[in-house]
Amino acid sequence: MADKRAIMFLYKYLYENTDEDHPISSVQLRAILRANGYVSDPRTIRKDIELLREAGYDILINEQNGIPTMYFYGARDWDKTELMILIDAISSAQFITKEKSREIINKLSCLAGYQNKTILTPSIFVSENLKAHNNQILYVLEKVTEAIREKKKISFKYYNYNTYKERIFRHDGELYTISPYSTIWKEDRYYVVGYSDKHEKIIPFRLDRMPVPKVIDEPAIPKPRTFKIQDYANKVTRMYTGTEYNVTLRCQTELIDNIIDKFGKDVQISNITKDTFDATSTVAVSVTFFGWVFQYSGKMIITSPECVRNQYYEMLQQSSNDTATNRLET
């Protein structure tokens, strides 16, 4: 009977260390197997490799005069470009620690085969100061996805930081209870979106601002039929909720890329002139949305609806008054 452990070792070694340009000979394989405690001879190697091939593994054989001489692993599930995209995403993700990022990247690199695994290194980096300092968010995410899968509610405490960089739980440690519907990774933050019992509406919570939640043995409130997570994510700015309005922005032509980056290619564009255009989209109006508009220094203005435009100018006026007061006090 074939040694199952030897077969799996053989598969793993061929997958991780060989490819078309780096085959391995039968003699080398026998030496490696013996060095790792497995009995090996040419006949058992041929038989074990044939079993792997029959099971669907793409192990290819170079023959000479009908005799197998070299072996290597052929087709792979991931090509180099696909793996590079994943590696860059892991490297730049702030919610994953530096150590965990390195561990995941090493695992992904092994999927590329011998020739490529040594050259698959991140091309995108973030400051180590911005990377998470522990793996708690991974355990938070595990519990959240469990609740989504089981259609159960979760309860958790939610916190902010004070000026001493200490965690301060909101509302004296009051438990929040939500029916989680989905997770969103947006602007390099991980969120859970769900129906809040306290707020009586669907809102987002940052996963990195909660301890590991508890999955409650209570059925989640069903997701509304009209709720689509893609639409929800597009409407909110930095995941701050607000009243939804169909907002029209008049923009200078140079801002078209910024509009498409923000609202997607489905955004409604109208009143195009040489210098300006109008962009209309459904937006959850909030202070963060107004801040996004303000950053373009007058090159983008809110034209409708009037109530949103008035809110924006009231915010600007208040900010101007506060600045003037501060100057007088200093």
| Helix, strand, or coil (residue 174) | coil
For 69-105, b/e burial (b = at least 16 CB within 10 A) is: ebbbbeebeeebeebbeebbebbbbbbbbeebbeebb
- The answer to whether the CB of 229 falls within 8 A of the CB of 192 is no
Per CATH, 4-73 and 243-326 having the same topology is answered no
Q: Are 288 and 238 in contact (CB under 8 A)?
A: yes
Residues contacting residue 12 through CB under 8 Å, at least 6 positions apart: none
Query: CA separation (Å) from 311 to 89, 214, 317?
Result: 37, 39, 10
Alpha-carbon distance of 88 to 83, in angstroms, equals 9
| pLDDT at site 3 | 75
Q: Where are the domains of the chain?
A: 4-73, 80-130, 138-225, 243-326
Confidence at residue 98, expressed as pLDDT on a 0 to 100 scale: 85
* Second CATH level (architecture) for the domain 243-326: 2-Layer Sandwich (3.30)
Q: What is the pLDDT of residue 328?
A: 47
Residue 216 β-bridge partners = 153
Look up residue 139 and give its two tokens: 């355990």
| Cβ atoms of 24 and 14 closer than 8 Å | yes
Question: What are the helix and strand counts (H, E) for the chain?
Answer: 11, 14
Q: Which CATH number fits domain 4-73: 1.10.10.10, 2.60.120.10, 2.60.40.3080, 3.60.21.10?
A: 1.10.10.10
DSSP 220: P
Amino acid 66: pLDDT:
67
Q: What stretch of H or E contains 231?
A: helix 229-235
Architecture of domain 138-225: Roll (2.30)
- Would you state the structure tokens that stand for residue 309, as one six-digit string? 């435009």
Mean pLDDT, 10 residues at a time, over the chain (330 residues)? 80 86 88 88 86 90 76 81 84 84 85 67 61 84 95 96 87 95 86 93 92 96 90 67 87 92 86 93 87 92 94 86 55
Measure CA 60 to chain center: 36
Residues 6+ apart with CB under 8 A from 237: 283, 284, 286, 288, 289, 291, 292
- In sequence order, which residues have a C-beta less than 8 Å from that of residue 170 and are 6 or more positions away? 157, 158, 159, 160
Q: Exposed, middle or buried: residue 18 (CB in 10 Å: 0-12, 13-18, 19+)?
A: buried
The encoded tokens of residue 132 equal 């998470």
